[in-house]
Chain A
Amino acid sequence: GEQVEQRPPHLSVREGDSAVIICTYTDPNSYYFFWYKQEPGAGLQLLMKVFSSTEINEGQGFTVLLNKKDKQLSLNLTAAHPGDSAVYFCAVTEMNTGGLSGKLTFGEGTQVTVIS
C-alpha cells in the first residue's frame, strides 16, 4: 500500500526566514495531496489541497509544490512568524473511481518551531 515519508521530523526556523518540509510517496496512483497544520490541543486544520493537475499552489505565507515525477510534495513556509509554530502533516489519497474512500495516508509529521 501507499507509504508516505516526511522530512524533517523537527525544524527550527528564525522569524522571517523560510523553511521547507518534504514528503515522498510511493503509489503512482496517488492523486490528491493535502497539507494539514496541528496546533497544540487542536484538531487538524487543512492548509491546502493539491490535485494531480496542479503543480504549484500559493497560500497565505506558504507555497506547495507537487513533483509527480519524483513523487514529492513540499511545503515551503515563507517569512515564518510565531503563529506558524505547529506540527505539519502531509497526507495523500488515491483517485477512487468508486468515490467511496476518503482514506488518507499521512506522513509522520514535522514539528516546526519559529524562533523570534
Chain B
Amino acid sequence: GPKVLQIPSHQIIDMGQMVTLNCDPVSNHLYFYWYKQILGQQMEFLVNFYNGKVMEKSKLFKDQFSVERPDGSYFTLKIQPTALEDSAVYFCASSLWGQNTEVFFGKGTRLTVV
C-alpha cells in the first residue's frame, strides 16, 4: 500500500543545534502532519500543513519549530535550536484530503537531543 518514508530513522543531536527531519509523503496526498511521541506516552498532534501553509498547530509546536515542503519535495520539520525536551519519536503522516480519508503514517524518526 501507500507508504510514507521518514529519513533518518534515528538522529542524535547536540542541544542547541538545528535539526531537520525529512518526510517523503504519499505522492498524490495533499495534507501533511507531524506528531510527537515521547517514550511511553501517547502520540500528540503537532501541526498540519496544506497548500504551502500551516493550517493548525498545537501548543507543542513551539516557536523553534517550523515546517515546509519546498517545491513538492520532502515535507520537513525543522527545530532550531533544539532542547533536551525535544527528544521523542516524530511521526510524519499524509492524507489525500483533510478529513474522512485514511491518514498514512511513517515509521517515525527517533530524535535524541544530548
Given contacts A106-B42, A107-B42, is CB(A44)–CB(B105) below 8 Å? yes
Query: Judging by beta carbons under 8 Å apart, are A100 and B98 in contact?
Result: yes
> Binary interface profile of A, 37-74, with partner B (CB < 8 Å = 1, else 0)?
00001111010010000000000000000000000000
CA distance in complex: A102, B91 (Å): 14
Q: Tell me how many residue pairs across A and B have CB atoms closer than 8 Å.
A: 66
Q: Tell me the count of chain A residues lying within 8 A, CB to CB, of chain B.
A: 25
> Binary interface profile of B, 22-57, with partner A (CB < 8 Å = 1, else 0)?
000000000101010000011111001010000110
Residues in chain B near residue A101, CB distance under 8 A: 48, 55-56, 98-99
Q: Which residues of B are in contact with A by a Cβ distance under 8 Å?
A: 4, 31, 33, 35, 41-45, 48, 50, 55-56, 91, 93, 95, 97-108
Q: Judge whether A115 is part of the interface by a CB distance below 8 angstroms.
A: no
Min CB gap A103→B, angstroms: 5
Query: Judging by beta carbons under 8 Å apart, are A105 and B45 in contact?
Result: yes
Query: Sorted from nearest, which 3 A-B pairs have the closest CB atoms?
Result: A44-B105, A108-B42, A43-B105
CA distance in complex: A49, B100 (Å): 9
Q: Which of A41, A43, A96, A107 has the most CB of B within 10 A?
A: A43
CA distance in complex: A109, B89 (Å): 15
Residues in chain B near residue A104, CB distance under 8 A: 35, 45, 103
Residues in chain B near residue A4, CB distance under 8 A: 42
Query: Judging by beta carbons under 8 Å apart, are B99 and A93 in contact?
Result: yes
Residues in chain B near residue A44, CB distance under 8 A: 91, 105
Q: Which of A44, A46, A95 has the most CB of B within 10 A?
A: A44
Residues in chain A near residue B95, CB distance under 8 A: 102
Residues in chain B near residue A93, CB distance under 8 A: 99
Given contacts A43-B91, A43-B105, 13 further A-B contacts (CB under 8 A): A43-B4, A89-B42, A89-B43, A99-B98, A100-B56, A100-B98, A100-B99, A102-B97, A103-B33, A103-B48, A104-B35, A104-B103, A107-B42
CA distance in complex: A108, B44 (Å): 10
Residues in chain B near residue A43, CB distance under 8 A: 4, 91, 104-108
